[in-house]
Amino acid sequence: MRMVWISMAAVLVIAGARESRAGYYTNVAIDGVFADWDAAPVAATDIAGDGDVGPDLAELRLANDETNLYVYISYHASINPNAGPSVFLALDNDVNTGTGFDIFGLGLVGSEAGWQNDFPFQQSAGNFSAGTISGGAAAISPYNTATTNQEYAIPLAAMFDAGGDVFPSNQFRLLVYTDPTATNETMGPVTYTLSPKIEAIAFEEVQLDGAVQVEVNDTLSAVRYSLEESATPGESWDASGGGARGNGGTVFLYDATDAGTTQVYRVKAEW
């Protein structure tokens, strides 16, 4: 966290610099070690035993960085998800069920792009496989072996060979499903908005006379904010009142005990 000294005699207003997004930003190593996903929110779940044969879908998590969409899928029982029946992804890249391919005729997505395991292909209305995709192969780990967990990396720079971006905007809908059987196994769909990279927010140390509250604007929902004070900055800092969880807008941090005195304050932002 970068700290800068300035002087001000008023109520302090601090801007948080970035809008909160629905996505979850992180870098995932596709190595079959799943600690990278511990903090990622669960996007969808599916109950055990509701399918027929093949992979029994359990949980879906999504994340992204500037380069890849990351997908985490878990299964209720150990199975090889890349053998028949295998796992598919359907990407509704315009969030419009009226365009693209209608998976199983359920009206859940209009899929413009699909993946069978790691292999990408184009889809369109009435056409399960309508063309090819360049630069869109998924990296998957573990692959083609019995497992209860898998993680994917799908390049956001993928292009339809017929022209156009596979990910034309920062929002899309995703459905996970398996090869058609007597009972179709699906999970989702989930509407996801790609998250921008969230840098560490740079706040300032500010000396105030008689401060009562500190206003923090443009807060991030993934961040907890708290106020610290010091009579001798650089040597020690003490918590000053309670904290507040970001909400995408404004939160207020209070210092009731030292109102009317001169203090140096800083805002602590914790992910």
d(CA 21, CA 62): 13
Cβ neighbourhood burial of 170 (10 Å; 0-12, 13-18, 19+):
middle
Domain 34-193 has CATH 1.10.3470: no
The reported pLDDT for the residue numbered 239 is 72
Q: 220 pLDDT exceeds 50?
A: yes
CA distance linking residue 197 with residue 188, whole number of Å: 25
pLDDT score for 261: 64
Residue 89's identity, in one-letter code, is L
Hey, where are the domains in the chain? 5-20+198-270, 34-193
Cα separation, 151 vs 223, in Å, equals 26
The percentage of residues in the chain with a pLDDT greater than 70, rounded to a whole number, is 78
Say if pTM beats, i.e. exceeds, 0.85.
no
Would you say 137 and 175 are in contact if contact means Cβ atoms under 8 Å apart? no
Of the two residues 146 and 213, the one the predictor is more confident about is 146
What six digits make up the tokens of 236? 């020690």
pLDDT band at residue 11, thresholds of 50, 70 and 90?
Answer: very low
Q: Is the pLDDT of residue 43 over 90?
A: yes
User: What pLDDT is recorded for position 211?
Assistant: 54
The whole-number pLDDT of residue 8 equals: 27
- How distant, in Å, are the alpha carbons of 104, 159, 195, 222, 245 from that of 129? 14, 15, 29, 39, 46
Split at pLDDT 50, 70, 90, the class of 3 is: very low
Write the pLDDT tens digit of every residue in 239-267: 776 678 878 788 887 776 665 566 677 77
Residues 81-122 pLDDT 10s: 998 889 999 999 999 999 999 999 999 999 999 999 999 999
Q: What is the SS3 assignment for 141?
A: strand
Least confident range from 1-15, 26-40, 110-124: namely 1-15
What mean pLDDT value characterizes the chain? 82
The secondary structure of residue 103, as a DSSP letter, is G
Range 118-122, long-range pairs (CB < 8 A, 24+ positions): 118/82, 118/143, 118/152, 120/154, 120/158, 120/166, 122/160, 122/161, 122/162
